[in-house]
Amino acid sequence: MPGKTIDHAFTATGLTSAATDPTYAGALSFMRRRFSKNVSGADVVVWGIPFDAATSNRPGARFGPQAIRRASAIFDNDPQYPFDRDLFAEMAVVDYGDCLLDYGNHHETPATIEREASALIAKGAFLLTLGGDHYITWPLLKAHVARHGPLALVQFDAHQDTWFDDNRRIDHGSFVARAAREGLIDTSRSIQIGIRTHAPEDCGIRILYGHEVEEMTAGEIAETILGHTQDAPAYLTFDIDCFDPAFAPGTGTPVAGGPSSAKVLSVLRRLQGLDIRGADVVEVAPAYDHADVTAIAGATVAMYMLGLRAERLAEGR
């Protein structure tokens, strides 16, 4: 097979080349990007945070980064739908691997994540994180805000994550309340999409509940997001349980009554105008998955995030 290679994650000679690995073989980096701890020249850095000690229900999201990388091999490096472009023709992307965490000292976890994320962001690259449970967004927000200032939070989720927090808890259900209280997020420009549970407070954040999402078109949802954020720099966080469990069964706290993957992906496609400074996909727990349904959904969400980034870079933004 002249001109073709395998194990592109290790054999790639540049950061923008397409891979030729079969979808069923080869080293499983995210979308076959080169594994490297050298992020020099990278427009985007993808990394994983395999942490799930903050879950309130079923654990297992520590295996999320592995599952998302494995599922991403299904993207065969043709122009990616619906962006109709080779995402890596001009956008240099590195898979940095995973954050090393000490499973016996969880109190050190937030500082470790924040420190490593800050070092990557300081290199000037866009950081796309694969979780891990939703607690990881707390230290990620701290790292991004240190560089960009307070951000609008655009959160796709079944849960508000605004439960009580004593500033010490390691809890995936309270990070939004802490971020709001400490001024990390601009609550007047923040929005949550797909919420299907109740929490004690909304922290002044706009909510699109599950029944509203069901009744709105994808275009109406996207217009609401863009109209509410009003060009503010934003952090995009996507909890896979935003999808109905029919489309994402492999997660720790599934909630019935959610939107389809088709509808939410259509919303994401319409967010070209959102000034995304960082993003994550969290709560993929493959032990509860079937036929990689959830992992494929998570990998697709992450691919859409890269597609939006590629379009903004192409436009010089």
CATH of the domain at 44: 3.40.800.10
- C-alpha span between 91 and 85 (Å, rounded): 11
Strand 152-156 to 126-131 pairing: unpaired
pLDDT of residue 255: 97
Q: Two tokens at 169? A: 């808890």
pLDDT of residue 64: 97
Name the domain count of the chain: 1
1 domain-assigned? no
Q: Are 127 and 144 in contact (CB under 8 A)?
A: yes
3 domain-assigned? no
Cβ contacts of 83 within 8 Å, gap of 6 or more: 307, 310, 311
- Residue among 268, 273, 314, 307 nearest 87 (CA): 307
Q: What is the pTM of this model?
A: 0.95
Q: Over 70: is that where the pLDDT of 134 sits?
A: yes
190 domain-assigned? yes
220 domain-assigned? yes
247 domain-assigned? yes
DSSP symbols for 138-198: HHHHHHHHHHH-SBEEEEE-SS-------SS---TTSHHHHHHHTTSB-GGG-EEEEE-S-
Q: Over 90: is that where the pLDDT of 203 sits?
A: yes
- C-alpha span between 46 and 126 (Å, rounded): 8
Place of tokens 């990388």: 69
Range of the domain at 235: 8-314
Binding residues for Mn(2+), by number, are 134, 157, 159, 161, 239, 241
221 domain-assigned? yes
303 domain-assigned? yes
40 domain-assigned? yes
Binding residues, by number, are 134, 157, 159, 161, 239, 241
Q: Over 70: is that where the pLDDT of 242 sits?
A: yes
